[in-house]
């Protein structure tokens, strides 16, 4: 057993090598938590609380409303909301009647929204009043027929619910919504009008989709990842096994990761509902808001991304707040620098470990043990029932421990495929194995390391350079807050290494000093030839630094330079 899966030796005694996955839909956990812990808080949102019974009742009401609108099993329902009670209610309400949820980023521009609605075929969308104008503009160009509009104020306690619209108006953010019978609905009205009687459509957990999660990867148009109820149920049960110290009905989970991202959806929302925990909902990442939430509401679990932890530990006011309630954090979406991990643990007394996952795997496949042997710089070991191998990207053959190849995973959390894209599905799914596109290696103990995205690799003068390795070195410089490394066109080397740097407040470092620092820690061919200092780096909603945006900017500059007439 250990020959093929050496990582099992390092499993905590409390974590089984294989788990049982009940033949249920995701909504089963909400009903169970409402039965066993109905009067416990499921949600805390800016002063307003909802119990598990209230959350289930609201989900039933929303399910009835969708059914009355003509939504049937298999129809797609888009949710375009930040973290707020409505995003949880709409999600479970849609699943109760067998609809497929399409998670939609509220920051999408009209072009992106139009593409996603057309590709998914969503007929109903739930959106925030602030983004309603964008939705209105794409309706005639997409299959969308009905819009349900809500606002942050809908779940604020008195007097915040009165004051909030006034503040919005003062900021010039208030939006006038033209409600139309049969087309544009007010969230509060439809929930008040509907019954809270139980309603549930028969669904096959193994076959029927729960979610279309759009992922862009590094190139090409976004693809809808088809995740079944079984995929998502499996990953949340795996999460519970890994967080084996989590106590049912007692945990408070800080919900900063957006639910429209699969990471936040699984390890915060679905995990919290399975545990009957209380989700402390934060609609956007705001350092002051996070500090106050931790200090006042005492969350015990805080899943996040490295940039979130970086922002907190480097904030000048951190000593003013008590962060000792945090016991466990799983970091994902980007590499976790060692300095960040150690500093955060020192400040909280809790554990912060790195994990790994993708939209195509619901998302988690690996993590370091939280309370046992972790290996810094590693994404940890595969979760229960997750098979993993490293393959030669050219031949598909397995490579031995210590050798770099493409990471391939197989398990109950692996997607069914890409929506309406059979050819693209066939490229990445081979006999149940998902080819991740990440270059990785496994050490002799079965711990895995991500070297970099296959597509992000820089080839300079014939040498393969992985941006992550260069970034890790830059992060150890005392003046560097954030770093991103990309390959830029170079006439002589083909590509050359460019580093984008954000400095810590009050710090200064020159290009020459960074060059000297890198030369002490990297082979000469890996050292950045170019540096650019910035106030901030482009990021996704979960705080992942978007290298591809920097690459696109550089390519555009290069093309302009090429087309410029010579004097």
Tens of pLDDT, residues 266-308 = 999 999 999 999 999 999 889 999 999 999 999 999 999 888 9
**Token pair recorded at residue 376:** 């810094």
pLDDT digits (tens, 9 = 90+) for 342-354: 999 999 999 999 9
What domain range is 550 assigned to? 463-563
What is the Cα–Cα distance from 373 to 13, expressed in whole angstroms? Answer: 12
DSSP 8-state code for residue 109: -
Q: Which of 229, 247, 289 is nearest to 91 (CA)?
A: 229
User: According to the model, what pLDDT value does residue 250 have?
Assistant: 98
Res. 499: pLDDT tops 50: yes
Angle between helical axes of 85-96 and 27-37 (0-180°, round to 10) = 110
Q: What are phi and psi of 50, to 5 degrees?
A: -125, 130
DSSP 8-state code for residue 446: S
For residues 477 and 423, membership in a common domain is answered with no
Q: Give the three-state DSSP class for 460.
A: strand
Tell me the average pLDDT across 432-451.
94
What is the Cα–Cα distance from 285 to 269, expressed in whole angstroms? Answer: 16
For residues 251 and 356, membership in a common domain is answered with yes
Res. 219: pLDDT tops 50: no
For residues 366 and 471, membership in a common domain is answered with no
Assigned domain for 394 exists: yes
DSSP 8-state code for residue 99: -
User: According to the model, what pLDDT value does residue 564 have?
Assistant: 63
- Among 435, 453, 486, which residue terminates a domain? 435
For residues 426 and 481, membership in a common domain is answered with no
Q: Which of 141, 233, 140 is nearest to 183 (CA)?
A: 140
User: According to the model, what pLDDT value does residue 217 have?
Assistant: 43
User: According to the model, what pLDDT value does residue 55 have?
Assistant: 98
**Token pair recorded at residue 327:** 């016991």
Q: Please report, for the domain that includes residue 499, its CATH number.
A: 3.30.300.30
User: According to the model, what pLDDT value does residue 466 have?
Assistant: 78
User: According to the model, what pLDDT value does residue 215 have?
Assistant: 85
Assigned domain for 78 exists: yes
The answer to whether the beta carbons of residues 525 and 460 sit under 8 Å apart is yes
The answer to whether the beta carbons of residues 161 and 152 sit under 8 Å apart is no
Higher-confidence residue of 36 and 465: namely: 36
For residues 491 and 379, membership in a common domain is answered with no
- Concatenated DSSP letters of 306-324: HHHHHHHHT-TTGGGS--T
For residues 415 and 505, membership in a common domain is answered with no
User: According to the model, what pLDDT value does residue 168 have?
Assistant: 78
Res. 85: pLDDT tops 60: yes
With bands split at pLDDT 50, 70 and 90, how would you rate the model's confidence at 220?
A: low
What share of the chain in percent tops pLDDT 70? 98
Assigned domain for 277 exists: yes
What pTM did the predictor assign? Answer: 0.85
pLDDT digits (tens, 9 = 90+) for 101-135: 999 989 888 888 999 999 999 999 999 999 999 99
Overall number of domains in the chain? 2
Assigned domain for 106 exists: yes
The chain-wide mean pLDDT, for the chain, equals 93
What is the Cα–Cα distance from 71 to 408, expressed in whole angstroms? Answer: 37
Contacts 24+ apart (CB under 8 A), 373-378: 373/10, 375/443, 375/445, 375/447, 376/338, 376/341, 377/338, 377/449, 377/472, 378/354, 378/443, 378/447, 378/448, 378/449
Residues facing 498 on adjacent strands: 486, 530
Assigned domain for 467 exists: yes
What is the Cα–Cα distance from 476 to 340, expressed in whole angstroms? Answer: 10
What is the Cα–Cα distance from 369 to 320, expressed in whole angstroms? Answer: 31
With bands split at pLDDT 50, 70 and 90, how would you rate the model's confidence at 54?
A: very high
For residues 256 and 373, membership in a common domain is answered with yes
Q: Please report, for the domain that includes residue 397, its CATH number.
A: 3.40.50.12780
Q: How many CA atoms lie within 13 A of 11 on its CB side?
A: 21
What is the Cα–Cα distance from 114 to 62, expressed in whole angstroms? Answer: 25
For residues 471 and 429, membership in a common domain is answered with no
For residues 478 and 417, membership in a common domain is answered with no
The answer to whether the beta carbons of residues 490 and 496 sit under 8 Å apart is yes
What is the Cα–Cα distance from 67 to 12, expressed in whole angstroms? Answer: 46
Res. 388: pLDDT tops 60: yes
Tell me the average pLDDT across 27-46.
98
**Token pair recorded at residue 80:** 């375009």
Which H/E stretch holds residue 89?
A: helix 85-96
Report the phi/psi class of residue 172: left, alpha or beta, with left for phi > 0 and alpha for psi in -120 to 50: left
What is the Cα–Cα distance from 174 to 170, expressed in whole angstroms? Answer: 8
Res. 444: pLDDT tops 60: yes
- Concatenated DSSP letters of 152-208: GGGGPPTTHHHHHHHHHHHTT-------BTTTEEEHHHHHHHS----------TTTS
The answer to whether the beta carbons of residues 210 and 227 sit under 8 Å apart is yes
Higher-confidence residue of 435 and 521: namely: 435
Residue found under tokens 């059914």: 67
User: According to the model, what pLDDT value does residue 1 have?
Assistant: 66
Q: Which of 95-99, 184-188, 243-247, 464-468 has the lowest mean pLDDT?
A: 464-468
What is the Cα–Cα distance from 521 to 395, expressed in whole angstroms? Answer: 33
Higher-confidence residue of 514 and 463: namely: 514
With bands split at pLDDT 50, 70 and 90, how would you rate the model's confidence at 463?
A: confident
Assigned domain for 95 exists: yes
Angle at 338 between CA 336 and CA 340, to 5 degrees: 75
The answer to whether the beta carbons of residues 499 and 526 sit under 8 Å apart is no
Res. 441: pLDDT tops 70: yes
For residues 226 and 134, membership in a common domain is answered with yes
For residues 336 and 467, membership in a common domain is answered with no
**Token pair recorded at residue 215:** 């992922």
Angle between helical axes of 52-68 and 85-96 (0-180°, round to 10) = 60
Q: What is the CA radius of gyration of the chain?
A: 24
Res. 477: pLDDT tops 90: yes
- Concatenated DSSP letters of 376-433: TTS-BEEPTT-EEEEE-TTT--B--TT--EEEEEESTTS-SEETT-HHHHHHHEETTE
Assigned domain for 509 exists: yes
Assigned domain for 210 exists: yes
Would you call the peptide bond into 520 cis, given omega within 30 degrees of 0 as the criterion?
A: no
For residues 429 and 477, membership in a common domain is answered with no
For the chain, the first-to-last Cα distance in angstroms comes to: 69
Res. 566: pLDDT tops 70: no
């Amino acid at each position: 057993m250990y020959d093929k899966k050496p990582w099992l030796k390092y499993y905590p005694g409390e974590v089984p090598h294989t788990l049982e996955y009940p033949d249920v839909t995701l909504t089963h956990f909400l009903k169970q938590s409402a039965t066993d812990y109905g009067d416990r808080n499921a949600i805390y949102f800016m002063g307003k609380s909802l119990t598990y019974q209230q959350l289930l009742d609201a989900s039933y009401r929303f399910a009835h409303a969708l059914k009355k609108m003509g939504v049937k099993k298999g129809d797609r329902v888009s949710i375009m909301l930040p973290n707020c009670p409505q995003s949880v209610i709409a999600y479970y309400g849609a699943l109760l009647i067998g609809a497929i949820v399409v998670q939609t980023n509220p920051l999408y521009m009209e072009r992106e929204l139009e593409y996603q609605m057309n590709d998914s075929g969503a007929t109903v969308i739930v959106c925030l009043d602030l983004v309603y104008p964008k939705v209105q503009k794409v309706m005639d160009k997409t299959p969308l027929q009905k819009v349900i509009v809500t606002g942050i104020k809908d779940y604020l306690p008195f007097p915040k619910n009165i004051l909030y619209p006034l503040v919005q108006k003062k900021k010039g953010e208030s939006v006038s919504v033209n409600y139309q019978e049969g087309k544009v609905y007010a969230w509060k009205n439809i929930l008040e009008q509907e019954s809270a009687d139980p309603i549930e459509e028969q669904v096959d957990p193994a076959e029927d989709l729960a979610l279309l999660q759009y992922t862009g990867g590094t190139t090409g148009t976004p693809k809808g990842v088809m995740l079944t109820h079984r995929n998502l149920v499996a990953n949340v049960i795996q999460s519970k096994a890994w967080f084996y110290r989590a106590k049912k009905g007692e945990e408070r989970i800080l919900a900063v990761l957006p639910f429209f991202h699969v990471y936040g959806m699984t390890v915060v929302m679905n995990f919290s509902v399975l545990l009957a925990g209380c989700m402390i909902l934060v609609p956007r990442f705001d350092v002051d808001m996070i500090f106050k939430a931790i200090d006042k509401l005492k969350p015990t679990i805080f899943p996040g991304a490295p940039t979130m932890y970086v922002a907190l530990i480097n904030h000048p006011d951190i000593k003013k707040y008590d962060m000792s309630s945090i016991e466990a954090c799983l970091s994902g979406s980007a590499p976790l620098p060692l300095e960040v991990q150690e500093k955060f643990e020192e400040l909280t007394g809790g554990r912060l470990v790195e994990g790994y996952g993708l939209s195509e795997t619901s998302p988690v496949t690996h993590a370091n043990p939280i309370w046992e042997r972790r290996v810094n710089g590693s994404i940890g070991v595969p979760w229960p029932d997750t098979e993993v191998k490293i393959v030669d990207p050219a031949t598909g053959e397995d490579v031995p421990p210590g050798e770099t190849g493409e990471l391939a995973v197989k398990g109950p959390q692996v997607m069914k495929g890409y929506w309406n894209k059979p050819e693209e599905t066939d490229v990445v799914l081979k006999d149940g194995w998902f080819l991740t596109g990440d270059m990785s290696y496994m050490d002799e103990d079965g711990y895995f390391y991500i070297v970099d995205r296959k597509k992000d690799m820089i080839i300079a003068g014939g040498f393969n350079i992985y941006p992550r390795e260069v970034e890790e070195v830059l992060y150890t410089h005392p003046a560097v807050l954030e770093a991103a490394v990309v390959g830029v066109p170079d006439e002589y080397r083909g590509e050359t290494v460019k580093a984008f740097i954000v400095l810590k407040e009050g710090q200064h470092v020159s290009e020459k000093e960074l060059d000297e620092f890198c030369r002490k820690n990297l082979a000469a061919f890996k050292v950045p030839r170019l540096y650019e200092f910035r106030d901030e780096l482009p990021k996704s909603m979960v705080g992942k630094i978007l290298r591809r945006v920097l690459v696109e900017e550089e390519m555009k500059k290069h093309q302009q330079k090429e087309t410029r007439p010579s004097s």
